[in-house]
A and B are shown apart, each in its own frame.
Chain A
Amino acid sequence: MSLQRYFVKRLLVMIPVLFGVSILTFSLTKMLPGSPVDYILQFQETTPGLREQLEAQYNLNEPVYVQYWLWLRDAMVLDFGDSLISDRSVSGAILRRLPKTLLLGGGGFLIAVTIGIPLGVLAAVNNGNTIDEASRVGALLGIATPNFWLGLMLLLVFSVQLGWFRVIPPDMPTLSLPMLKFVILPAITLGTASSALIMRLTRSSMVEELNKDYVRTAKAKGLSERTVIVKHVLRNSMVSVVTVAAIQVAFIVNGSVVIEQVFSWPGVGRMLIQAITQRDLPVLQAIVLMIAVTIVFVNLIADLLYSWLDPRIRY
Chain B
Amino acid sequence: MSVTDEPLLSVDGLQTSFYTEEGEVKAVNDVSYQIDRGERFAVVGESGAGKSVTSLSLMRLIDDPGRVKGGDVTFRSTSAVATLARKFPEGVATENSPGYIHVTELRSESGAVGSDPGATVRDNPTDVATSLHDGSLHIEAGHVDVLDASEDAMRELRGNEIAMIFQDPHTALNPVYTVGEQIAEAIRKHLEMDDGAAKERAIEMLERVGIPDAEERYSDYPHEFSGGMQQRAVIAIALSCDPALIVADEPTTALDVTIEAQILDLLKELSNEEDVAVQLITHDLGVVAELCDSVMVMYAGKPVERSSVEELYYEPKHPYTVGLMSSIPRIGDDRERLDTVPGTMPDLVQLPSGCSFHPRCPYAEDACLEHEPPLVDVETGEPVEDPDPAVHSAACLEYTGELQDGVDFDVQIREDAATDGGESV
Q: What residues make up the interface of A, taking CB atoms closer than 8 Å to B?
A: 212-214, 216-224, 232, 235-236, 239, 309-312
| Cα-based distance from A232 to B189 in the complex (angstroms) | 15
Q: A221-B237, A222-B160 are in contact. Are A310 and B189 (CB under 8 A)?
A: no
Q: Is the CB of B171 within 8 A of A214?
A: yes
A-B pairs, 10 with minimum CB distance? A222-B159, A221-B159, A222-B158, A213-B171, A220-B164, A214-B174, A221-B186, A222-B155, A311-B221, A217-B172
A79 to B164, CA, bound (A): 65
- Please pick, from B156, B157, B174, the residue contacting A218 in the complex, using a CB distance under 8 A: B174
| CB proximity of B141 to chain A, nearest CB, Å | 24
Q: How far is the CB of A210 from chain B (nearest CB, A)?
A: 9
Q: A223-B189, A310-B175, A312-B175 are in contact. Are A217 and B155 (CB under 8 A)?
A: no
| B144-171 interface (Cβ within 8 A of A) | 154-160, 163-164, 166, 168, 171
Establish whether residues B172 and A214, one from each chain, have CB atoms under 8 Å apart when the complex forms. yes
Cβ-defined contact, B157 with A216, below 8 A? no
Sampled A-B contacts (5; CB under 8 Å): A214-B173, A217-B172, A220-B163, A236-B176, A310-B175
C-alpha gap A50/B22 in the complex (Å)? 86
CA distance A221 to B182 in the complex (A): 9
B61 at the interface (CB under 8 A from A): yes
Q: Which of A212, A219, A224, A310 contacts B61 (CB 8 A)?
A: A219
B166 to chain A, nearest CB (A): 6
In the bound complex, how far is the Cα of B186 from the Cα of A116, in angstroms?
31
Q: B59: CB under 8 A from chain A?
A: yes
Q: A286 vs B346: C-alpha distance in the bound complex, in angstroms? A: 72
Please, which residue of chain A has its CB at the minimum distance from the CB of B163? A220
Q: Which residues of B contact A212 (CB under 8 A)?
A: 171
Partner of A310, one of B156, B172, B176, B185: B176
User: Is A217 a contact partner of B223 (Cβ separation < 8 A)?
Assistant: no
Select one of B171, B189, B221 contacting A222, CB under 8 A. B189
| B176-201 CB contacts (< 8 Å) to partner A | 176-177, 182, 185-186, 189-190
* Cα separation A311 to B419 with both chains bound (whole Å): 42
Q: Known contacts A236-B174, A312-B175; is A220 also within 8 Å of B158 by CB?
A: yes
Identify the closest chain B residue to A235 (Cβ). Answer: B176
Q: How far is the CA of A220 from the CA of B176 in the complex (A)?
A: 18
Interface bits B29-70 vs A (CB < 8 Å: 1, else 0): 000000000000000000000000000000101000000000
List chain B residues, Cβ under 8 A from A310.
175-176
Q: Is there a chain A Cβ closer than 8 Å to B128's Cβ? A: no
A218 CB to nearest B CB, Å: 7
Q: Report B218-239 CB contacts with A as 1/0, cut-off 8 Å.
A: 0001010000000000100100
Residues of B within 8 A of A309 (CB): 176
| Chain A positions within 8 Å of B174 at CB level | 214, 217-218, 232, 236
Which single member of A219, A221, A236 contacts B189 (CB below 8 Å)? A221
The residue of chain B having its C-beta at the shortest distance from the C-beta of A212 within the complex is B171
Chain A residues whose CB sits within 8 angstroms of the CB of B182 once the complex forms: 217
- Residues of chain A within 8 A (CB-CB) of B221 are 311-312
Task: Determine chain A's interface SS by DSSP, over half rule.
Answer: helix
Instruction: Report chain B residues within 8 Å CB of A222.
Output: 154-160, 186, 189-190
- B residues less than 8 Å from A224 (CB atoms): 155
Q: How many residues of B contact A (CB 8 A)?
A: 29
Q: Closest Cβ of chain B: how far from A112's Cβ, in Å? A: 23
B166 CB contact (under 8 Å) in A217, A232, A235, A239: A217
Q: Nearest chain-A residue to B152 (Cβ)?
A: A224
Which residues of the other chain, B, contact A235 by a CB distance below 8 angstroms?
176-177
Of A223, A236, A312, the contact of B185 (CB 8 Å cutoff) = A223
Question: How close is B172's CB to chain A, nearest CB, in angstroms?
Answer: 5
Given A222-B155, A222-B160, A223-B189: A214 in contact with B175 (beta carbons within 8 A): yes
Q: CA–CA, A303 to B186, complex, Å?
A: 31
How far, in whole Å, are A223 and B189 apart by their CA atoms in the complex?
Answer: 8
Does A311 contact B158, Cβ atoms closer than 8 Å? no
- Using Cβ atoms and an 8 Å threshold, which residues of chain A touch B154? 222
B3 to chain A, nearest CB (A): 23
Extra contacts besides A217-B164, A219-B158, A223-B189 (5): CB < 8 Å:
A213-B166, A214-B173, A222-B156, A235-B177, A239-B176
- Chain A contacts for B234, CB-based, 8 A: 217
A305 to chain B, nearest CB (A): 12
Whether A220 pairs with B159 at a CB distance below 8 angstroms is yes
Q: Are B158 and A236 in contact (CB under 8 A)?
A: no
Among the listed B160, B173, B176, B189, which residue makes an inter-chain contact with A217, where contact means beta carbons less than 8 Å apart? B173
Q: A222-B190, A236-B176 are in contact. Are A216 and B166 (CB under 8 A)?
A: yes
Cα(A28)–Cα(B182), bound, Å: 53
Kindly state the separation between the CA atoms of A235 and B59 in the bound complex, as whole angstroms: 25
Identity of the chain A residue whose Cβ is nearest the Cβ of B190 in the assembled complex: A222
B166 neighbours in A (Cβ, 8 Å): 213, 216-217, 220
Contacts of A220 in B (CB 8 A): 59, 61, 158-159, 163-164, 166
A312 CB contacts on chain B under 8 angstroms: 175, 221, 223
Q: For residue B183, which residue of chain A has the nearest CB?
A: A221
Which B residues are in CB contact (< 8 Å) with A216?
61, 166, 172
Q: What distance in Å separates the Cβ of A299 from its nearest Cβ neighbour in chain B? A: 21
Minimum CB–CB distance for A166 against chain B, Å: 44
> In the complex, are the beta carbons of B155 and A223 less than 8 A apart?
yes
Please tell me if the beta carbons of B189 and A311 are within 8 angstroms of each other in the complex: no
CB distance from A32 to the nearest CB of B (A): 48
A217 CB to closest chain B CB (Å) equals 5
Tell me the complex Cα distance, A236–B159, Å: 22
A236 — nearest CB in chain B belongs to which residue?
Answer: B176
CB distance from B310 to the nearest CB of A (A): 31
Docked pose: A222 CA to B176 CA in angstroms: 19
Contacts of A219 in B (CB 8 A): 61, 158
Q: How far is B1's CA from A52's CA once the two chains are assembled, in angstroms?
A: 111
A311 B175 Cβ-Cβ under 8 A: yes
Contact of B173 with A221 in the complex, beta carbons under 8 Å: no
Closest chain B residue, CB of each to CB of A311: B221
**Which residues of A sit under 8 angstroms from B175, Cβ to Cβ?**
214, 236, 310-312
Q: What is the CA–CA distance of A236 and B158 in the complex, to the nearest angstrom?
A: 23
CB proximity of B381 to chain A, nearest CB, Å: 40
In chain B, positions 267-293 with a C-beta closer than 8 Å to chain A are none
Contact with A along B319-351 (1 / 0, CB 8 A): 000000000000000000000000000000000
Please measure, in the bound complex, the distance between the C-alpha atom of A213 and the C-alpha atom of B230, giving whole angstroms: 14
Closest partner residue, chain A, to B247 (CB atom): A220
